[in-house]
């Protein structure tokens, strides 16, 4: 009886081994799956094979149904289930020592069969993130207005030393120096901007500092120093380039800032929150080593234009969304219109201010405008809503006009250009950007008698006769005369023509 049991057990053992071998062969066959973009793709089966398989199944089912009635089929099924359970239990008890070896054999075969065969060529599977972490690094220092570096892979930034490490084992050690502010060439703006050193290193373990903070999103490094206290430069040098650089990440990006001014981040909080869902990190004072899968250092800016991105229409829509502004288009005047268009006069308290603003308001009301006079405060939420509620905005050349970005489409911008040969600045800073935003543009150039400089210099002075000579003395000399000492007293009769043209543009 014992010998019989051993014989039966031995046959079962051979059966199990044979079955395991078949399983292994099946595994080999199944491992012919090709991995494409991380997705296993099973080899296609011919239509004939699938048809024959289906036909055989139907044939077996018909034979079984003719041999037994429905009641016998159920009894047969239950008996087979119980019998299988008993046999399985006996085999597991007797042959338990053998299974561990077969299991190890299977694992070894699976482990050794990790190669995928494609067109007869063995392809090694992708290595882990840590093993293949070689950084791709591209730096552009040839642009006129900004330097930028983009890197993907093992990127580490040590804030207190202003150093960024990138791992490139197949390249020689190298380094780049970048100031991440888009005003390259302007010494006044760039003087106090933090300088970053980007180091490409071959030996990851010996040269690169250990990570203490891990991030799974890209990082953008930029400065909010320079001229960030000026509204025009905040938009032209930081907000617009940051929008261009980070919009593609759909808020899945970490901002790392240097030269941080707390007031600036509060002023533009709505915009920053719309671009990133993470709290901004002041990397200047960080003792931690932050590690990222990719990083952009510096912000790209157009070399030829100010207050500009490829689609200013999209940018103004983005701003309306950021500040929850209601109006997307200005009023459309008709003969039967009862609504009065709203005119916003930008008030300036220090320089380039209107000295006869009350007369300007009266003239505008006589022509049918609802008039609002307001200074552009740092509260961007309030300013954006005020500007968006208006159809016409007028002001003397200066940063306050930058708030035209909040105007609804087809609104009118009126720029009053003071003395001082400001044609290039007037056109580049406000005329061209306003047209790119689908705004209507009007310009009013004042005469000598409309400038308060006439009270400080005789008409024969070079301030009036030769502004180029003042420009030749440098920006500070030019600024002190034409930007800081000049106010405007509009000729109301002459300026009424501008108001009339604005009304026509709203029709």
Residue 36's φ and ψ, nearest 5 degrees, are -125, 115
What does 187-243 look like in DSSP terms, one character per residue? HHHHTTSPPEEEEEES-HHHHSPPPSEE-SS-EEEEE--TTTTSHHHIIIIIIHHHH
Residue 152's φ and ψ, nearest 5 degrees, are -130, 135
Q: Which residues contact 399 (CB under 8 A, 6 or more apart)?
A: 230, 231, 232, 233, 376
Map out the domains of the chain as residue ranges.
2-123, 136-297, 312-505
DSSP class of residue 373 equals E
Helix (H, G, I), strand (E, B) or coil at 274: helix
What does 422-483 look like in DSSP terms, one character per residue? -HHHHIIIIIHHHHHTT-EEEEEEPPGGGBGGGGTS-TTSHHHH-HHHHHTT-HHHHIIIII
pLDDT for 104 equals: 36
Element holding 314 (H helix, E strand): helix 312-322
For 284-341, the pLDDT digits (tens) are: 989 999 999 999 999 999 988 999 999 999 999 999 999 999 999 999 999 888 899 9
Question: Alpha-carbon distance 263 to 229, whole Å?
Answer: 9
pLDDT for 440 equals: 98
Closest CA to 246 of 282, 218, 223, 279: 218
pLDDT for 262 equals: 76
Q: Which fold has domain 312-505?
A: Rossmann fold (3.40.50)
Tokens read off for 243? 């929008």
DSSP class of residue 485 equals S
Tokens read off for 22? 């078949």
Closest CA to 144 of 304, 296, 297: 304
Tokens read off for 371? 């008039």
Q: Please name the residue that has the structure tokens 């903070």.
A: 213
Question: Alpha-carbon distance 438 to 440, whole Å?
Answer: 7
pTM of this structure: 0.73
Closest CA to 149 of 177, 171, 170, 172: 177
Tokens read off for 28? 């080999």
Neighbouring-strand partners of residue 295: 151, 219
pLDDT for 100 equals: 42
pLDDT for 261 equals: 81
pLDDT for 37 equals: 41
* Residue numbers in the chain where pLDDT is lower than 70: 1-85, 87-134, 205
């Amino acid at each position: 009886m014992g010998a019989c049991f051993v014989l039966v057990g031995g046959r079962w053992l051979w059966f199990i081994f044979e079955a395991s071998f078949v399983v292994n062969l099946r595994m080999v066959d199944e491992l012919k799956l090709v991995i494409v973009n991380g997705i296993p793709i099973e080899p296609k089966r011919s239509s004939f094979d699938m048809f024959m398989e289906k036909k055989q199944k139907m044939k077996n089912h018909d034979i079984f149904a003719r041999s037994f009635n429905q009641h016998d089929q159920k009894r047969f099924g239950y008996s087979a289930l119980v019998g299988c359970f008993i046999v399985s239990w006996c085999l597991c008890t007797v042959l338990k020592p053998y299974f561990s070896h077969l299991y190890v054999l299977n694992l070894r075969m699976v482990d050794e069969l990790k190669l995928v065969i494609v067109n007869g060529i063995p392809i090694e599977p992708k290595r882990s993130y840590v093993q293949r972490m070689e950084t791709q690094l591209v730096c552009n220092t040839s642009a006129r207005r900004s330097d930028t570096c983009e890197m993907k892979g093992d990127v580490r930034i040590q804030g207190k030393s202003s150093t960024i490490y990138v791992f490139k084992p197949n390249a020689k050690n190298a380094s780049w120096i970048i100031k991440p502010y888009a005003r390259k060439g302007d010494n006044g703006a760039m003087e106090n901007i933090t300088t970053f050193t980007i180091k490409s290193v071959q030996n990851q373990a010996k040269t690169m500092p250990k990570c203490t903070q891990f991030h799974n999103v890209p990082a953008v490094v930029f400065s909010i120093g320079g001229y960030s206290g000026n509204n025009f430069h905040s938009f032209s040098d930081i907000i617009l380039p940051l929008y261009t650089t980070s919009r593609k990440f759909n808020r899945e990006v970490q901002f790392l800032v240097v030269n941080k001014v707390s007031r600036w981040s509060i002023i533009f909080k709505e915009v920053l929150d719309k671009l990133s869902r993470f709290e901004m990190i002041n990397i200047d004072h960080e003792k931690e080593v932050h590690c990222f899968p990719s990083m952009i250092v510096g912000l790209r800016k157009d070399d030829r234009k100010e207050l500009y991105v490829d689609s200013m229409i999209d940018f103004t829509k983005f701003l309306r969304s950021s500040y929850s502004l209601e109006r997307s288009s200005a009023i459309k005047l008709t003969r039967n219109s009862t609504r009065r268009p709203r005119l916003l006069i930008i008030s300036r308290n220090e320089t380039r201010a209107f000295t006869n603003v009350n007369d300007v308001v009266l003239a505008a009301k006589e022509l049918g405008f609802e008039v609002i006079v307001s200074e552009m405060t740092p509260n961007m939420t309030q300013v954006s809503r005020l500007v968006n509620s208006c159809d016409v905005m007028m002001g003397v050349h200066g940063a306050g006009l930058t708030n035209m970005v909040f105007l609804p489409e087809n609104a009118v911008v009126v720029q009053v250009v003071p003395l001082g040969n400001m044609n290039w600045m007037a056109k580049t800073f406000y005329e061209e950007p306003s047209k790119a935003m689908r705004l209507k543009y009007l310009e009013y150039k004042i005469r000598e008698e409309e400038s308060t400089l006439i009270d400080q210099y005789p008409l024969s002075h070079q301030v009036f006769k030769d502004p180029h000579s003042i420009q030749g003395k440098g920006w500070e000399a030019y600024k002190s005369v034409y930007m800081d000492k000049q106010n405007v007293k509009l000729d109301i009769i002459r300026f009424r023509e501008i108001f009339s043209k604005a009304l026509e543009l709203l029709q």
